[in-house]
Amino acid sequence: MRKFKIEEAPFGDVKIFCKSTVTFKTGITVLTGCNGTGKTTLLRAIKRSLDADRIPFMSIDNLKEGGGNAIDVMMYKGDTELAANMITASEGEGISLNLGYFFRNVDYFIRTGQDKNHPFKYINFNSSNYKEEKEKIESELEANKERWLLFDACDSGLSIDMIADLKEVFDLVLSPEGTHWKDVYIIVAANSYEMAANQNCYDVAKGQFYVPTSYEEYKDRILESRKIKNNR
């Protein structure tokens, strides 16, 4: 488990979070709440904390890294066939292709602690001991037991069957063969019931963990989170 300190009012006087800490356990945690509750803000706080402590993580924000931005990256890296498929794909198919592109590197990341998309993270090229520092950092990342995968808005635009497929991929990543005996955390900021159903969820507005077992229960949580947001 890992505990994070959270700034309750990160944008000034308005208190967004009702708790100053949140503790996550290994496996999947789905962040839930209506739009504007603070799911993305919490994910960013988690990333800053992991980055500061040099804890290995990979992240994808579908709103920022999907669509045309994903196509640009694929073209830059020479994946022209995949880029062409993205151009002709529907919204959901495009998101699914982009997630598949992301998952290409997950096994390597879990084994080594290194994100191929950011291979020189933490390395100071101006150092006179550049090679020694690089080897030391790579060794530290690989030795670290924790691996974090952070997903934002990846269920937006996905049909139910594609969300089911994505959850199956999560299960594969969390299998003994997929974790390589590392402590793997998957944090997903989501809006759909299909993503949250029967998963360990964190109600961002209330600061509570729960497992939704029915659509009505989930709906009530989301509507209540909107009331909390509007009363800030």
Q: How much is the pLDDT for 66?
A: 47
CATH code of the domain covering residue 192: 3.40.50
Q: How much is the pLDDT for 59?
A: 92
Q: What percent of the chain has pLDDT over 90?
A: 59
Name which of 226, 180, 183, 179 is nearest 38 in CA terms: 226
As a whole number, mean pLDDT of residues 128-144 equals: 81
Most confident of 140-154, 160-174, 215-229: 215-229
Q: Is pLDDT of 113 > 50?
A: yes
Q: Is pLDDT of 73 > 70?
A: no
CB 171 within 8 A of CB 103: no
Number of domains within the chain: 1
As a whole number, mean pLDDT of residues 203-217 equals: 96
Q: How much is the pLDDT for 156?
A: 80
| Alpha-carbon gap, residue 82 to 102, rounded angstroms | 12
What band does 139 get if pLDDT is binned at 50, 70 and 90? confident
Question: pLDDT tens digits, residue range 159-206?
Answer: 899 899 899 999 999 999 999 999 999 999 999 999 999 999 999 999
AA letter at 95: I
Q: How much is the pLDDT for 158?
A: 82
Phi-psi region of 84 (alpha: psi -120 to 50; beta: other; left: phi over 0): alpha
Question: pLDDT tens digits, residue range 44-68?
Answer: 999 999 999 999 999 998 765 544 4
Which domain covers residue 59, as residue numbers? 2-230
What band does 119 get if pLDDT is binned at 50, 70 and 90? low
As a whole number, mean pLDDT of residues 76-89 equals: 54
Backbone phi, psi, residue 155, to 5°: -90, -10
Q: How much is the pLDDT for 67?
A: 45
Q: What percent of the chain has pLDDT over 70?
A: 79
The pTM assigned to this predicted structure is 0.86
What band does 126 get if pLDDT is binned at 50, 70 and 90? low
Phi-psi region of 38 (alpha: psi -120 to 50; beta: other; left: phi over 0): left
